[in-house]
């Protein structure tokens, strides 16, 4: 069966419809994780990277593969391990005996959608290999800067419980992720649907994204991102986003607050949320809707609250309730 030709979004309504189609296609493959799927699609619209945390077998890899199938473009996967070298991610120079010259062999980072699987299993120098790519949209190999073709989206996964053989992501790298999403246990009905779908005549437990149809292409993604970036943000909404971020710096229970990049990230994510709702302007509700996902990995809990079992989301929820939003 011939796949339909992806449509190029030309305006606000077309961009919103394109995102809705992407979200629908991903939900066809990933059942019971609608909030995470929404956050990933939102990050796609905002041209941001996503860190996905969840227990093994929750569908993190399936989610990324389904998104890549829905948006087209070049997909690549890197399995992060303790012996992974930076050149295994970015690429390296090789010497050609025939021409007696060095040639650049490009690594998997040269793609549109990159899955960094279990990113916290690689040492700091390998994790840092992604920093330049995520922030500057380029990599440097043997002193030569190579630009990554847009769009470029990194979706990294990590396991929240295993500590042996892992390397916590440094704050500088965490700050490059627009959003951190949690994949939690699905409801009983959704989990039963997953089991029924996978066990229905399939051999083994291979990830099946055959039901996902491509509804966008790289040009379409860029058009959606330009539309999102053009949404109106009133000064009062900008001030509200800034007050939320500044409040994290002296809020009781938080030892480390978010920086200026966090405020920018809140606005970018809020634009994506507004676009998904079909609005051409950002509201305080859009800011509130994305605040947890944008800030949870940019703040640090105090030791006492960590011992008592609190999460960053618990404190941030109190903060959201304590910072007044603009009424008009």
pLDDT for the residue 92 = 79
Average the pLDDT over 23-52 and give the result: 93
Residue 117 pLDDT greater than 70, yes or no? yes
Angle between helices 260-276 and 34-45 (to 10 degrees): 110
Mean pLDDT of all residues in 167-177: 85
What is residue 162's predicted lDDT score, i.e. its pLDDT?
A: 60
Across 275-301, average pLDDT: 94
pLDDT of residue 2: 47
Q: What is the mean pLDDT of residues 196-223?
A: 78
pLDDT at position 8: 46
Whether pLDDT at 287 is above 90: yes
> What does the pLDDT read at residue 302?
86
Domains of the chain, start order: 1-202+211-229 (3.40.50.300), 230-323 (1.10.8.80)
Indicate if the pLDDT at residue 203 is higher than 70: no
Residue 161 has pLDDT above 80, yes or no: no
């Amino acid at each position: 069966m011939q796949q339909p030709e992806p449509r190029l979004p030309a305006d606000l309504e077309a961009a919103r419809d394109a995102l809705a189609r992407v979200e629908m296609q991903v939900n066809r493959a990933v059942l019971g994780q609608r909030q995470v799927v929404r956050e990933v699609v939102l990050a796609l619209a905002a041209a941001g990277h996503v860190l996905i945390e969840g227990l093994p077998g929750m569908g993190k890899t399936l989610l990324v593969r389904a998104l890549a199938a829905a948006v087209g473009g070049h997909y690549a996967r890197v399995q992060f391990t303790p012996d992974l070298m930076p050149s295994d991610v970015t690429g390296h120079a090789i010497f050609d005996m025939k021409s007696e010259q060095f040639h650049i062999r490009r690594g998997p980072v040269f793609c549109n959608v990159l899955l960094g699987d279990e990113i916290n299993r690689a040492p700091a120098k390998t994790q840092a290999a992604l920093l330049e790519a995520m922030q500057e949209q380029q990599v440097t190999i043997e002193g030569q800067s190579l630009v990554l073709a847009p769009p470029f989206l990194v979706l990294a996964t990590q396991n929240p419980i295993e500590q042996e053989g892992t390397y916590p992501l440094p704050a500088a790298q965490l700050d490059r992720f627009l959003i951190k999403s949690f994949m939690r246990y699905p409801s009983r009905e959704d989990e039963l649907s997953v089991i029924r779908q996978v066990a229905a005549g399939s051999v083994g437990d291979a990830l099946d994204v055959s039901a996902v149809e491509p509804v966008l292409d790289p040009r379409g993604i860029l058009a959606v991102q330009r539309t999102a970036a053009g949404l109106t943000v009133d000064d009062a909404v900008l001030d509200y986003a800034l007050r939320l971020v500044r409040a994290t710096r002296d809020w009781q229970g938080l030892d480390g607050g978010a920086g200026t990049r966090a405020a920018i990230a809140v606005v970018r994510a809020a634009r994506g949320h507004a676009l998904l709702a079909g609005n051409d302007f950002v509201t305080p509700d859009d800011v509130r809707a994305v605040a947890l996902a944008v800030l949870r990995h940019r703040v640090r809990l105090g030791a006492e609250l960590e011992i008592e079992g609190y999460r960053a989301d618990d404190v941030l929820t109190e903060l959201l309730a304590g910072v007044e939003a603009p009424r008009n």
